[in-house]
Amino acid sequence: MTFSRPTAVQTILFDRQTWTVSAAKGWLRRHDRKIPKVDTTKDYLRFRQAPPSKFEPGTFRTIPFGRKGIKAIIAVPKERLKNPSGRVVRLPRVVVDLGRCVEIEWEDGSLWSPRKPSIHLCCSESGRTLWVFSVSRERTHLKPKSSLYRRFTGFYESGVRTASVREPSKLTYSRYVKAVVYESDKKTGKKTHYIHTFRSRPRAYCDRLSDPSFIKISGGKIRVQSVGITG
């Protein structure tokens, strides 16, 4: 079994035939590992490094770890981060509508497709941050023009929306984004699916992992330009 995402140690196991509790604690101390209360089973001394709930189900496995008689249970950590600033992420007052969001591929290869056709892919007027949310939940009006929208689509009609969206209280989950698929009538006036695969590992912040309704994609080298989405 292999994982496309990094793993971390959940529990360290010491064979009771080789290790005593004091020797095991000494090893943990020398290797800068946590030394919680030992959980003794028939064969092993178990020292938990993190709760199982902090890891993705179905990714646990046991491997040899360091010296003879030591094993580790490893798994893929859940990608769950608080905003570094501790503040609520706010949608800009004005966003540029790039088209309908069709699909997002996360870095682990899993896919997310919106359940509603009204979920759109937008960007800030600087073109450096992408936003995904339901346009049908807006109370908006269109601005008369947008130079970024004109460069991106080739049209002079406004694609800028003054957003008033029911934002979640916090965007507390995050995942790295591999690719985004969106539908746009840019350049030709005919709706076409476009896919952009990111090279710079931008991170998506969302309100929930299973079926997000509000996503911010930032970081890396995202740029929205006349050639499309780059980075």
Q: What HEC string does 56-102 produce?
A: CCCCCEEEECCCCCEEEEEECECCCCCCCCCCCCCCCCEEEEEEEEE
> Is position 83 within any domain?
no
Residue 160 clears pLDDT 50, i.e. is over it: yes
Same domain, 105 and 62: no
- Band (87; pLDDT cuts 50, 70, 90): very low
Same domain, 204 and 116: yes
pLDDT at 152: 84
Which candidate, 30, 29, 32, 28, places its Cα nearest to that of 12? 28
Lowest mean pLDDT among 36-45, 60-69, 72-81, 84-93: 84-93
CA end-to-end span of the chain: 31
Reduced to 3 states (helix: H, G, I; strand: E, B; else coil), residue 212 is: coil
At 50, list the tokens: 């993190």
Which candidate, 175, 173, 228, 222, places its Cα nearest to that of 200? 222
Residue 176 clears pLDDT 50, i.e. is over it: yes
Same domain, 124 and 63: no
> Is position 122 within any domain?
yes
pLDDT at 82: 44
Same domain, 69 and 104: no
Last residue of a domain, one of 75, 109, 134: 75
> Is position 1 within any domain?
no
Residue 138 clears pLDDT 60, i.e. is over it: no
Same domain, 99 and 50: no
Residue 52 is part of which domain span?
8-75
Which candidate, 138, 192, 181, 137, places its Cα nearest to that of 160? 138
> Is position 89 within any domain?
no
Same domain, 148 and 69: no
Which candidate, 186, 108, 114, 107, places its Cα nearest to that of 154? 186
Same domain, 110 and 168: yes
Q: How far apart are CA 161 and CA 142, in angstroms?
A: 5
> Is position 3 within any domain?
no
pLDDT at 84: 46
Residue 80 clears pLDDT 70, i.e. is over it: no
Would you tell me how many other CB atoms lie within 10 Å of the CB of residue 87? 8
Which candidate, 229, 7, 3, 202, places its Cα nearest to that of 122? 229
Same domain, 219 and 122: yes
How many domains in the chain? 2
> Is position 155 within any domain?
yes
> Is position 180 within any domain?
yes
Q: Containing H/E element for 24?
A: helix 21-30
At 115, list the tokens: 């359940």
> Is position 189 within any domain?
yes
Percent of the chain residues topping a pLDDT of 90: 30
Same domain, 222 and 121: yes
Same domain, 100 and 58: no
Last residue of a domain, one of 47, 75, 103: 75
Same domain, 58 and 105: no
The pTM of the full predicted model, rounded to 2 decimals, is 0.60
- Band (112; pLDDT cuts 50, 70, 90): confident
Same domain, 175 and 108: yes
Measured at the CA of 131, the angle between CA 127 and CA 137, to 5 degrees, comes to 130
